Structure 1
């Protein structure tokens, strides 16, 4: 093992690690970035099939204009090669495909005639079933709390362990509700879990624009993962990138949080600073910190290509239908700027035994749903299929937000050389994540932050 001093060492080459490397390099810093996986990007990477179709992991687009810093940052990183468009969404409820944020008159008659909308009522996150019944009628309130929630295995897991149903409604409301005045504007007092007030206000304004619209950005080529690759390319002027570091080992003092060394590939790096940009549970294992009790949750990705187009002119479709084991369908061809899409990606997040089922079983289940919903013909078979299982941390009845805050407080208050640009227990919107990481890296350098 050869010792090598290094000014900065970044652990993790996902989106957080890429922003960190680029920011450090722009300030003249040098060092090493190590990544356990063979490819960068983490949960924000992309892959191509043998026909050149791109599929993304994690978030697929970045909101345009939601953060002026992020919009400028992304445009600069991609050298202006950014596609901007209004995201078109659909919803699946009770087997019906419905335009997102449609008013009740535009809903299918079979659903519309059962809703008893009271425009004088107001509901928000944390409202009770009774409050929703007054606003939308008893039938639709029961549909939302019983049937729509049952489409999400994670919500079923929480309900079985006694979590109040009103606390889980943020997964369903307002996404799968008709747009109306019954949806109260976001309030700082709402119990929103991981959703910030900024996030709720942003999506409320998008839903209630006339017409509803959300403008987004996407790389012109290379899938969403191209954004991560471009940042790493900018950072390589100061950082050596080591991928496939499966043998990585970290020697860290659990009291001071001083990282004495990071070893991989026969080299023992002696770092001045270590920027932790890998998953939080991995860091907790090194430090001996107890993780919240829970169960691993997994996102299952099924990527399909068909001979004929399969889209309905939509970029994505969100599901709240327990008859279909799907959370979202994305149409990469349209997102990338094509006139139609022969490709689609199915996403489904689940826990327990269901998460351990194999690719053949999920291929069969998803094809059944796609045919039943009319996205593909009854006898259509894909010319390409790929299956991936991606970790999404743990599902827990404990307060994950409080746990995260405690971890960050301990790291920022320690005397060691460990820096945490972004720790997470759930996905965060990239429009907030990018300026947050950039600002924290600059503060670690003692530089006046240009973003927070």
Structure 2
């Protein structure tokens, strides 16, 4: 556990700044470690869901059979009745107008169009919502923003692997996760995505440096052969999540207690988390809370 925890710079920072090791154990992906027979109380929808999955004889990762993660959005889009729905993409200018008396959202201005509604589902960071509503939070003062970087590799030849993703957990490699999108989508398995997260400004964001560092790791781990030439590489950097000596659950609950009493009653947060979060944890909670909210509105 010592090496695995330290291979996550975010957790390492937390431990060096007063965090307790036991608070972060479950957030280093549990499947690094053997399954425990001891049962502990569960409080969230995703915990109940994954307890059931772990206790079954066959464990299938929550991916659609076709197109991987993209299959989720494809299936949702296919099931939407476009007579009652409009989907807007690539929005350049979005403004949110709120009522200072009760913090309800009055309307959202998309480019030149104003949109109003009975309910607004907030599906991005709760911290952003707190800033818009001018709600002060102790969470933002307790640590640092987290940077997450991705390297997207396209190779000439197929990659020989039986895995959809690999969790590295090694101090020898500046990688937390390696995934194979082509294999997930049941298409040509020549795609690799690597992921690494750390406290903001801890490492440089030079694409050439990370490209070479990650290629070296992919070669050393035996995942890519030297004769498999690289066709394309894309580097992505985003600010996602938060770094603190407190564990993610404590931060989430603290922020939730600070802002939920103050947000408008027409704002729904289907999955309250500070992210980035495992999609397998988020999806059950989003589905449950969205259905509950819509059913309540229709009564």
Residue 83 of structure 2 is matched in structure 1 by 237
Specify the SS of the correspondent of 2:166. Answer: strand
Residue 146 of structure 2 is matched in structure 1 by 297
TM-score by length of 1: 0.57
Residue segments in structure 1 that go unaligned for 5+ positions in a row: 1-143, 448-452
Aligned partners of 2:65, 2:162: CA distance in 1, in Å? 20
Name segments (4+ residues, structure 1) moved above 6 Å: none
Structure 2 residue corresponding to 1:218, chosen from 64, 84, 96 = 64
Residue 174 of structure 2 is matched in structure 1 by 325
Structure 1 residue corresponding to 2:213, chosen from 365, 369, 376 = 365
* CA displacement at 1:174 relative to structure 2: 4.2
* CA displacement at 1:358 relative to structure 2: 2.3
Aligned partners of 1:228, 1:252: CA distance in 2, in Å? 29
CA RMSD for the aligned pairs? 2.9
Q: Larger radius of gyration, structure 1 or 2? A: 1
1:246 lines up with 2:102 in the alignment: no
Aligned partners of 1:358, 1:195: CA distance in 2, in Å? 39
Question: C-alpha offsets along residues 30-88 of structure 1, whole Å, 9 cap, x if unaligned?
Answer: xxxxxxxxxxxxxxxxxxxxxxxxxxxxxxxxxxxxxxxxxxxxxxxxxxxxxxxxxxx
C-alpha change, 1:274 and 1:376, in structure 2 (3 Å) is closer
Contact 1:404 1:423 in 2 (8 A): no
Question: C-alpha offsets along residues 329-365 of structure 1, whole Å, 9 cap, x if unaligned?
Answer: 1122222225x72221112222232454122111111
Contact 1:252 1:259 in 2 (8 A): yes
Specify the SS of the correspondent of 1:242. Answer: coil
Structure 2 residue corresponding to 1:401, chosen from 244, 252, 257 = 252
Alignment of 1:9-408 (within 5 A): 144-145=1-2, 147-172=3-28, 174-177=30-33, 179=34, 183-188=36-41, 197-198=47-48, 201-202=51-52, 204-205=54-55, 209=57, 213-218=59-64, 220-221=66-67, 223-232=68-77, 234-291=80-137, 292=139, 293=141, 294-338=143-187, 341-354=189-202, 356-378=204-226, 380-398=228-246, 399-406=250-257
C-alpha change, 1:213 and 1:243, in structure 2 (3 Å) is closer
Residue 13 of structure 1 is matched in structure 2 by none
Aligned partners of 2:59, 2:11: CA distance in 1, in Å? 28
Contact 2:153 2:234 in 1 (8 A): yes
C-alpha change, 1:342 and 1:403, in structure 2 (3 Å) is same
Aligned partners of 2:151, 2:185: CA distance in 1, in Å? 18
Question: C-alpha offsets along residues 5-33 of structure 1, whole Å, 9 cap, x if unaligned?
Answer: xxxxxxxxxxxxxxxxxxxxxxxxxxxxx
C-alpha change, 1:343 and 1:273, in structure 2 (3 Å) is closer
Aligned partners of 2:203, 2:72: CA distance in 1, in Å? 29
Question: C-alpha offsets along residues 266-285 of structure 1, whole Å, 9 cap, x if unaligned?
Answer: 22334444332333222111
Specify the SS of the correspondent of 1:262. Answer: strand
TM-score by length of 2: 0.83
Aligned partners of 1:410, 1:235: CA distance in 2, in Å? 34
C-alpha change, 1:299 and 1:371, in structure 2 (3 Å) is same
Residue 126 of structure 1 is matched in structure 2 by none
Residue-pair matches, total: 288
Contact 1:329 1:345 in 2 (8 A): yes
C-alpha change, 1:354 and 1:369, in structure 2 (3 Å) is farther
Contact 1:186 1:200 in 2 (8 A): no
C-alpha change, 1:405 and 1:281, in structure 2 (3 Å) is closer
Aligned partners of 2:119, 2:293: CA distance in 1, in Å? 13
Contact 1:302 1:346 in 2 (8 A): yes
Aligned partners of 2:28, 2:221: CA distance in 1, in Å? 21
Question: C-alpha offsets along residues 243-296 of structure 1, whole Å, 9 cap, x if unaligned?
Answer: 233321112124412222322222233444433233322211111123412211
Aligned partners of 2:111, 2:29: CA distance in 1, in Å? 49
Residue segments in structure 2 that go unaligned for 5+ positions in a row: none
Contact 2:49 2:284 in 1 (8 A): no
Specify the SS of the correspondent of 2:92. Answer: coil
C-alpha change, 1:321 and 1:258, in structure 2 (3 Å) is same
* CA displacement at 1:158 relative to structure 2: 0.6
Contact 2:151 2:235 in 1 (8 A): yes
Contact 1:151 1:320 in 2 (8 A): yes
